Homo-oligomer: A and B are copies of this chain.
Amino acid sequence: MVAAKDIDNASELDMMLTLMQEMVIQYVRQGQNETEPVVSFQDPGQLYKAMDFSLPTQGTGVEGMFVYLCTFELIKSTLKYSVNSWNPRFMDKLYAGTNPIGVISELLLAVLNSNVHVYHVSPVFTLMEIEVTKAVGQLLNMGENSGGLLCPGGSASNLLALVTARNKLFPMIKSEGYFPRPMNPAASYGKLTVFTSLHSHYSIDKSAQVMGLGTDNIVKVPVDDIGRMQVDELERLLLLSIDKGETPFFINATAGTTVLGAFDPIRKISALAKKYNCWLHVDGSWGGTVVFSDKVRAEREWFDGSELADTFTLNPHKLLGVPLQCSMLVTPHQGHLLFAKANSLRADYLFHGNPYDLGAGTIGCGRRPDAAKVFLAWKFYGQQGLGARVDRALASAEEFTRLVKQRNSFVLVKDPSPFLQICFWFVPPQLAQADKDFDLSVVTRELHRRVNQSGEFMVDHAPLVGKPDFFRIVVNAPTVNLHRDLERLLDAIEEANATVDWSTVQC
């Protein structure tokens, strides 16, 4: 009864890994082949027909080889109908495919099945997390006392930043909530307000909503011509909020906005944060890891003042090619201990316990050891190798911007492109020449649909307040080639345009 049938996991896994390796390598090779599509796209109705999504009472994995056949058929179909992110023509999102050491690091995590909530169950991964967040803090000039925690995604890092700020500034809220106000005359705060730019990521709004701050109390600061927060406007809005009896407590600067890739001026914003007693957070989910580039740190102002941030989010899973998810929140204020002090329900107990128990500072309890993935990537490529990836992407973006500019009918949204997103409209000559108004958003969406349809490319289009929708091409993968991929994309857009009879399209 109790004794399980003899289970030989090692032999079973050995056989399965051997079978997987062949499939996996073939798949990665396909991603390197320019004649292969990024995806064989199926809408949900088609995909339900193409694959068997039913969940059986009896498994397929129980007896003999039938097991492997069935399971591996399923895995084969999964590969077949998924987006092949090894293909550099996947330029739709801010992440790209991963790389060999990325896959190996995930395999390592899978085999160990560890949990970095307490040191004694994951000693190695705990120290990797402490060291890698400290090293990133040092790149940000945050010094010896910097460090942080890994969170399941940039939104989660931003949420942890907001919660930490609120708990540090108004610790009574942890126990009493916002409710006693204004009945509690001892309360030292009015309605809490949050400041962030018009172009910042929606996770700031979502976090504030989760925290019961209310999205109405998020003040959106206007941006300048290239999408950076306007600091004079920030001060005006801070004063306006204070005049209304509110309590501004959190300013979010963005390092690399989602659509245009703008970097807010951290140093200037920091001065206002200090002046008005606000927490300064930088959401560098997209652009933060650019700090790995020596060249950028030396030549650009993007990180000027980074050491003045109270918290800083970076996602190595975007620009560094670390597998999803890998996001961190770093701080100059004693690293992960800041989060433990601010957020633990029993901080005193825990600090007489083990300061290496990282779970004390997180919102969740159990957690994957995501830090190990960026740790291994760093060991493998070195800081300079990771920085070189950033430099290469920046150089490609610059060259691609030039190509776009040279072509007739292509109009850049910003010239030069502020960062790695190249944003442009295609203005069909047929329409430009006709003496008639047309909606460029409709044009973009129609061409976008046609370009993506073949699967040769996967690119995105984006909206921006007051402008028609445009193409947003993200240059990230180190395998992207200027001519084979980027120039070809422009051809593909022109070819798509040639297939449209615009007189039949409502624009």
Known: A113-B323, A202-B365. 5 other contacts (CB 8 A): A21-B21, A44-B123, A78-B372, A81-B124, A209-B343
Q: Which of B8, B83, B107 lies in contact with A114, CB distance below 8 A?
A: B83
Residue of B nearest to A365 (CB): B155
Interface pick from A171-179, A230-238, A304-312, A405-413 = A171-179
A-B contact pairs, 9 of them (CB 8 A): A1-B399, A13-B103, A28-B111, A55-B132, A78-B124, A78-B125, A159-B363, A176-B216, A203-B365
For A28-70 the 0/1 string (1 means CB < 8 A from B) is: 1101100000010110100110010111111111100001001
Which residues of chain A from 80 to 122 have a CB within 8 Å of any chain B CB?
Answer: 81-83, 85-86, 92-93, 95, 97-104, 106-115, 119-122
> Which residues does chain B contribute within 8 Å of A494, judged by CB atoms?
none
Interface pick from A266-274, A382-390, A436-444 = A382-390
Within 8 Å of chain B (Cβ to Cβ): is A293? Answer: no
When the two chains form their complex, are residues A62 and B382 in contact, meaning their CB atoms are under 8 A apart? yes
Interface pick from A333-341, A414-422, A474-482 = A474-482
Residue of B nearest to A126 (CB): B44
Within 8 Å of chain B (Cβ to Cβ): is A3? Answer: yes
Within 8 Å of chain B (Cβ to Cβ): is A242? Answer: no
Q: Which of B95, B385, B396 lies in contact with A113, CB distance below 8 A?
A: B95
Q: Which of B4, B379, B383 lies in contact with A70, CB distance below 8 A?
A: B379
When the two chains form their complex, are residues B9 and A363 in contact, meaning their CB atoms are under 8 A apart? no
> Which residues does chain B contribute within 8 Å of A396, judged by CB atoms?
2
Within 8 Å of chain B (Cβ to Cβ): is A25? Answer: yes
Within 8 Å of chain B (Cβ to Cβ): is A18? Answer: yes
Give complex CA distance A221, B80 in Å: 51
Q: Which of B95, B159, B367, B380 lies in contact with A366, CB distance below 8 A?
A: B95
Given A127-B44, A127-B53, A20 and B104 contact (CB-CB distance below 8 Å): yes
Residue of B nearest to A483 (CB): B3
When the two chains form their complex, are residues B115 and A93 in contact, meaning their CB atoms are under 8 A apart? yes
When the two chains form their complex, are residues A120 and B41 in contact, meaning their CB atoms are under 8 A apart? yes
> Which residues does chain B contribute within 8 Å of A74, judged by CB atoms?
376, 379
For A150-189 the 0/1 string (1 means CB < 8 A from B) is: 0011111001000100110000011111110100000000
When the two chains form their complex, are residues A113 and B97 in contact, meaning their CB atoms are under 8 A apart? yes
Residue of B nearest to A117 (CB): B93
Q: Which of B13, B356, B380 lies in contact with A67, CB distance below 8 A?
A: B380
> Which residues does chain B contribute within 8 Å of A483, judged by CB atoms?
3
Give complex CA distance A16, B102 in Å: 11
Minimum CB–CB distance from A481 to chain B (whole Å) comes to 6
For A375-405 the 0/1 string (1 means CB < 8 A from B) is: 1101111111100000010011001000000
